Structure 1
Amino acid sequence: MKKIVVLGGGYAGMRAIKKLAHAKLDAEIVLVNKNPYHYESTQLHQLAAGTREVSDITFDVRQVVPKNVKVIIDEVTHIDQKANRVDLKNGGPINYDYLVNCLGFESETFGIKGAEENGLSIVDVNTAEAARDHLEAAFKRYRTSHDENDLHVVVCGAGFTSIEYLGELAFRLPRLAKEYGFPMDKVRLDCIEAAPRILPMFDQKLSNWGVRYLEKRGVVFHTNTPITEVTPNAVMSNDTAYTANTIIWTTGVKGSHIIGDSDYDQKRNRVVVKDDLSIEGHPEEFLIGDVSAVPNPNNGRLYPTTAQISIAQADTAAANVVASINGQPTRKFVFKPLGTVCSLGPNAGIAMVEVFGHWKLKGVLAAIAKVFIADEAVLKLANLKTMLESK
């Protein structure tokens, strides 16, 4: 009997497990995940801003995986590709015949001085909760400190997480001001971005609408502003200091450090995979999600790592494991994006949707599209009951 090991219970891992479990294979299927729960990483910004709770964006892995899957809650420490072995922090090593590696992402500091020590990242449940607690403590402290930096928030980077976090925070601010008794006119929300444009993945009109929407709610954008250092109370761009007692670090992500620690041929802990998502020289291992780098065959550029592409990769990787076990040829990964949606708080957003035509949405319609996409993801990973319970 063959043994299939899936590493990571994120979007890619949970979808791969679901597909493999329903393939009716004569094989042992094992899922290794660090936590007993799956979390919706596309909603971590809501947890960090305090508009949603942990129970809203998580579900118990063991309650949704099929019965023919063995679940191991443990942390991967090393992968030995030559020996086909995965080492765990608490349990013994696991050998495999096939490996679906989807270990997820970590915060990227790009080597900027002080970023790791002084920036609050939003990469998992624990970091998102820590960012929320820090923010609320600073707001509460203002009553006695009268330090305006307690009411200043600097968000580093202007990617999806940054923008969506700012949208949620701007929405919640009036309630926080009432709860903690601070003046709204003393609040400052700065977004620092090295690139010349905010939300360049959208067309100019949509991105301009999104920027204006947030600016009307107090966000100040600083483009063409590279970050050179982060101190406990300021973000530096050369000689300019943007002071704040809450610094959110969302400049980008990289793959799991386990990839680099295990001597994969990688860049930023992402491995360029073959067109069937396997690794050169290791047809028994498929890398998907944030640890994979997938070239777009149309232009040679790497696809961005998103939940949408992770789920699509999982379908192909699972099918290719089944094909390999059955002695059949594997298939190429083909990705057809359904669009891009960026929320600007619970009631607004911008979107380009590629379903039944090309749609450009803004405002509440884009917000509805965001909710629909989140619900669909849970349905693909778990089941209808879990989707409804996440409401």
Structure 2
Amino acid sequence: MTPKRLLIRGARILNPARHEDYIGNILIAGDRISAVSEHACDPDAEVIDAHGLTAVPGFVDLHVHLRDPGFTDKEDILSGCRAAAAGGVTSLLCMPNTKPAVDTPETVRYILDKAKDADAHVYVAAAITKGLGGAELNDLEALRKAGAVALSDDGRPVVDTACLAEAMCRAPELGMLVAAHCEDLYLAKKWYLNEGEISKQLGLSGVPAAAEDCGTAREIAVAAAYDVPVHICHVSTRTSVALIRDAKARGVQVTAETAPHYLLLTDEELLKRDADYRMNPPLRAEEDRLAMIEAVRDGTIDAIATDHAPHTPAEKADFLKAPNGSVGMETSFAASYTALVKTGVLTLAELVERMSVRPAQILGIEAGVIGAGEIADIALIDEHEEWLVDPDKLHGKSRNTPFKGMTLTGKVKATVCGGRVVYSEL
């Protein structure tokens, strides 16, 4: 139950949207922030002592698979949001490759209804095409009326380019984001790992970078030709980065995300023959990892999202037969901090901008700001705490993290979502 009043006291308040950074208090009434200042106080409020911690706007994850409906042995809406809360994620966009796919108003409403009591705000990306088949457009207006805020066939590209173009042209009129999974399926016939030196060492067929690059080029071409926006999901190759950078310079309405695993890991992890390191797009070479870091630094990549993709231990047991994907919401801040802030690439404020402020702007939701009257979504972090990633201590249903056994820097200590404390280590 939401407390009548909550006081976060003595935190460093880091609010990149308003260029603020000071020590102060945050007073929350119901689901809103009622006051933020150096001396905000209420003697009747429940108190969180945040001395030594940094309060930042809750993170917004643009790319999450909640597996509900249909695959709730892997994750469900409530368990996925518990994992989100443990990672400071207060808003997330769930992808439509469920069973059934999110291609009807009924399924959209099912997700939103189940998410009412969840520990994060859940936003729905509905399928662009019927059954994610890539060819027949859904009733986009009906999906929007049901509550979907975005469109995607994530997990697969929209194969029919005319269908993709129609969706991209209609989405702005409906106030919806098109999030594009960029992949040429004719090139991406093998699902094991990145095509390169590591795939040669393992004697396995790989997925060439060109599979992603060709898809990225197509989506950018459509956006440029029709002067409409597109958001590129899970960017992993240096050529895709170059295409996006060039498109932005030409005024194309393109935004992009990458994931923490592309910032911190490479395909050398696959030498372990452990399926937890297999995802789509696959981990790439060191040159690609460095290109991702530079692209986040210079703003070519706007946002960091997780592509949180839970799978059961049984599914991940066989290196070659396992499905692709890894969980990521609980480690997203720490992995990104370790890759970008600890190394001096970004400041903490710049990282928060890419994990909260900018994703909220891209999705067009109320989030990313700490201020009076704003929604009370706040993460309290200890940016210097080092911690070991133990899969058995994760809060979702699945354990397939590529960061297992790693020591990361930066820890979410508490999360407030809609004025409610949904996670706390304090």
Task: Give the TM-score taking structure 2 as reference length.
Answer: 0.23
For the pair shown, which has the larger CA radius of gyration, 1 or 2? 1
